[in-house]
Homo-oligomer: A and B are copies of this chain.
Amino acid sequence: MKKYAYGVDLGGTTVKIGRFSTDGELVHKYEIPTRKEDSGAFILKDIADSIMKDLTEAGLEKDDLHGIGIDVPGPVHEEAVVNRCVNLGWGVRPVAEEMRKLTGIENVKVANDANAAALGEMWKGGGEGYTDVVMITLGTGVGGGIVLNGKIVGGTFGAAGEVGHMQVNAEETRVCGCGGTGHLEQYCSATGIAYLGTEALKNTDRPSVLREKKNLTAKHVFDAAKQGDEVAVEVAEHVGQVLGRAMASISCVIDPQIYVIGGGVSRAGSYLLNLVSENFKKTAFHASVDTKIVLAKLGNDAGMYGAVKLVLD
């Protein structure tokens, strides 16, 4: 194995690029903007150019480069072909093949961003030391990634790990971003939690510090809940119930060693973790009640770590 490899986390606004030593240390990281004009025609070239420039600046050569791993915000099919990244303006695109041509580097691997983040957290984050990991990312939406035997489970249609779209409430009439109803994401994303908070205030006359907030956010809800605000506590408990139950169902399918909870909402920390763990234990199949549940550690770098891990394996 050569000395260095790149992990590239390709997002809708910026591209995070990390140069790693092949023994797994992040040596240098930087960002470039994601140029979306002309249906994202320049994105891969920008990345390739930037990597070549970084190599030169570091006094390295192509021959020192073991490979390039890239994650993208869309479904990745076999042979590393990406099928529609709405955020990038891409249709079907053979990312690995294009990147090989642009860089002359043969070892290029591609994964979906949520899956790469799960792999990164397994390797160097909250799931370090484990091989069977479910990562759940509570952000604007709810994403997820599944790693079994140290490898990403991508799914037949690139939809493995889409746990945000598990139906957790068959009676729900509100529509999820994906067109379904009653999905996990509608309750446990930052947006979902803000919605639940707003509804809770409407449905009660009780005082609550949440009433003072102009644009209620998930952070407001958890901050107030930690201070004992009754309405906020109820909303937080609802979130914990819904997520804990969904995880209990996930364990009935693949029974992982550990859950890693990440994303902006996870900054609520041990307060959230305790709620989720308690509800998981209540509903989990008896064999799985001792499954570990931890917070993510790598923050926004998780995708970059996972991406480089793809070419180190």
Interface residues of A (CB under 8 A from B): 75, 132, 146, 148, 153-167, 170, 178-180, 241, 245, 248-257, 283, 285-288, 290-291
Contacts and interface: CB of A to CB of B under 8 A. Distances in A.
B253 A160 contact: yes
Given A148-B148, A157-B255, A163-B252, 14 more contacts: A153-B255, A155-B256, A156-B256, A160-B253, A161-B252, A161-B253, A162-B287, A163-B253, A165-B285, A167-B249, A179-B286, A250-B253, A253-B253, A253-B254
Contacts of A163: 252-253
Contacts of A180: 283, 285-286
A251 to B, nearest CB: 7
A157 to B, nearest CB: 4
A248 B167 CA distance: 8
Contacts of A251: 155, 159
Contacts of A132: 155-156
A255 B166 CA distance: 12
11 contacts: A146-B254, A153-B255, A155-B288, A156-B256, A159-B287, A160-B253, A160-B255, A163-B253, A166-B252, A166-B253, A167-B249
A285 to B, nearest CB: 4
Count of this chain's copies in the oligomeric assembly: 2
A254 B155 contact: yes
Contacts of A283: 167, 180
Contacts of A257: 156
Going nearest first, the 5 A-B pairs with the smallest beta carbon separation are A155-B255, A159-B287, A160-B255, A159-B255, A165-B285
Contact of A285 (B159, B256, B288, B290): B159
B153 A254 contact: yes
A257 B250 CA distance: 18
Contacts of A248: 166-167
Contacts of A290: 157
Contacts of A159: 251-252, 255, 285, 287-288
A148 B157 contact: no
Given A253-B253, A254-B253, A254-B254, A156 B288 contact: yes
Contacts of A160: 253-255
Contact of A158 (B146, B249, B287): B287
B288 A170 contact: no
Which residue, A163, A166, A250, has most C-beta atoms of chain B within 10 A?
A166
Nearest to A290: B157
Contacts of A250: 253
Which residue, A153, A253, A286, A287, has most C-beta atoms of chain B within 10 A?
A253
A119 to B, nearest CB: 16
Contacts of A255: 153-160, 162
A221 B154 CA distance: 39
Contacts of A156: 132, 255-257, 288, 291
Contacts of A254: 146, 153, 155, 160, 253-254
